[in-house]
A and B are shown apart, each in its own frame.
Chain A
């Protein structure tokens, strides 16, 4: 069809370029016209565009909740309720960057978080023992379960294989919090992509992040995250709703 296709079809690379707006308009037009009459290419286009849209949603949700975000716009604007998700990101930034003197004076720490439940490592233990780093994670989780948080911190501080990295971050963040290292817990928990964490670890780790924000004195960030949790279902959501009821917002 054209230089961007293989044979008579539009290839995966063209659709990826298309979705990212990297194609020349003429090539984009030809690809689109072809897809109108080619079921196979249309399916590829649709799959690529849908995957990209889902990723954008995940990325947006992540930044609105816990991911590290941009440097502050300095001033805080009141946004309409429907836009609170986007606002939460900006609020988090401002909260993190505000000097201590500008923080709300009354911030009671939240109730202690539950100790996180033991991870589900179904069938994965064989893989875990494959490397030294992963063995350290297994021992770290066992130490965490025993309440030996100092040992857990030591064992979980080293990055590990990709399959256990999120688990490591969730438990390391929790161990740091138990050891009163709230800034450290904030840093590590913010790098754990909550979208990839199954329940109950997802909710509990975000609850721990809210606790860490509270202890670190970041009341705005704490409230933003609590509002997110409170809008969900489950035990942590109920806990967040109760906390919001007790702890006055800004």
Chain B
């Protein structure tokens, strides 16, 4: 039913370890009759568990036809529910193998998708939406696939884009990347721990970054919307090296004390 987890995948043990540590800390807190204080890295545990749920959801055949937003909503809710249960001692993880842990998560995912399927049967499907709404959901992928696909042209384009992006300030680079490649909302970008800005400020930075990249690319003879395939991976690598040089990597390692 679910795409099998690769035997040497590292995330199951990683997520199980995080959940175990959180449960242990909360258990110690309860026995010490402490108040509402919780570890600052609780959010990181939720992110890791949610990512695991998303992976299992995306690998499930039952998820066929379920939009990404719905999958992420399901994963968010289930991850929160599991964390609360672990903290309350209702989800006992001690002594569980990673295989048992993943098996349990997979069962939760199956049930969540089954429930979602029942609810979705009562909701409006894409087939019932106006054509332009459906197009807007898929347009970006089409654009990327139909862009400049001549290898030499694409290489030139990406080299130019790297230069233009590198000329931005680090924060503007990150904001622009999050919007263009991650499709993140202004609010989410503003809240992201590596941005932390007021939402209107994000919009200002984003607009300036877009203008800057558009001008820069036009000077090189390109239109920035002609993103060729591979642009994301190239840009990720470029931004990661720039961010690491600045000591602020794109995907920081979780530090749990």
| A97 CA / B251 CA spacing, docked (Å) | 32
Set of chain A residues within 8 Å of B254, measured between Cβ atoms: 20-21
Say whether A17 contacts B9, CB under 8 Å. yes
B51 touches A19 (CB 8 A): yes
Residues 21-42 of B contacting A (Cβ, < 8 Å): 35-42
Tell me the complex Cα distance, A48–B51, Å.
8
Q: A96 with B43: in contact, given A42-B233, A61-B191 (CB under 8 Å)? A: no
Is there contact, CB below 8 Å, between A52 and B76? no
B199–chain A nearest beta-carbon distance, Å:
8
* Chain B residue nearest in CB terms to A82: B197
Residues of B within 8 A of A4 (CB): 6, 8
Q: Which of A61-77 contact B (CB under 8 A)?
A: 61-64, 67-72
Whole-angstrom distance between the alpha carbons of A55 and B230 in the complex? 24
Q: Would you call B76 and A82 a contact (CB within 8 A)?
A: no
Within 8 A of B (CB), among A23-39: 23, 32, 35-37, 39
User: Are B230 and A35 interface neighbours, CB within 8 A?
Assistant: yes
A159 to B80, CA, bound (A): 13
Q: Size of chain A's interface in residues, with CB distance under 8 A?
A: 71
> Which residue of chain A has the shortest Cβ distance to B181 in the bound complex?
A46
For A191, list chain B residues within 8 Å (CB).
84
A6–B59 alpha-carbon span in the complex (Å): 14
**Is the beta-carbon distance between A20 and B48 smaller than 8 angstroms?**
yes
Residues on A with C-beta less than 8 A from B81 are: 162, 165
A48-104 residues at the B interface, CB under 8 angstroms: 48-64, 67-72, 82-83, 85-86, 89, 93, 96-97
Instruction: Write the chain A residue with the least CB distance to B195.
Output: A57
Judge whether B192 and A123 touch: CB under 8 Å.
no
What is the bound-complex CA distance between A139 and B197, given in angstroms?
A: 43
Q: Give a binary string over B1-21; 1 marks a CB under 8 Å from any A CB, 0 the rest.
A: 001011011110010000000
Interchain nearest-CB distance for B91 vs A (Å): 12
| B125-133, B162-170, B182-190, B213-221: which lies at the interface | B182-190
- Kindly list 9 other residue pairs between chains A and B, CB separation below 8 angstroms, not including A13-B5, A14-B6, A57-B187: A16-B11, A17-B9, A53-B188, A56-B194, A58-B191, A59-B44, A89-B40, A162-B77, A162-B112
Task: Offer 12 A-B interface pairs, CB within 8 angstroms, sorted by A.
Answer: A12-B3, A13-B11, A20-B251, A22-B11, A49-B251, A50-B181, A53-B188, A55-B72, A68-B37, A68-B42, A127-B115, A191-B84
5 smallest CB-CB distances across A and B, nearest first, come from A70-B40, A59-B43, A50-B182, A13-B9, A35-B233
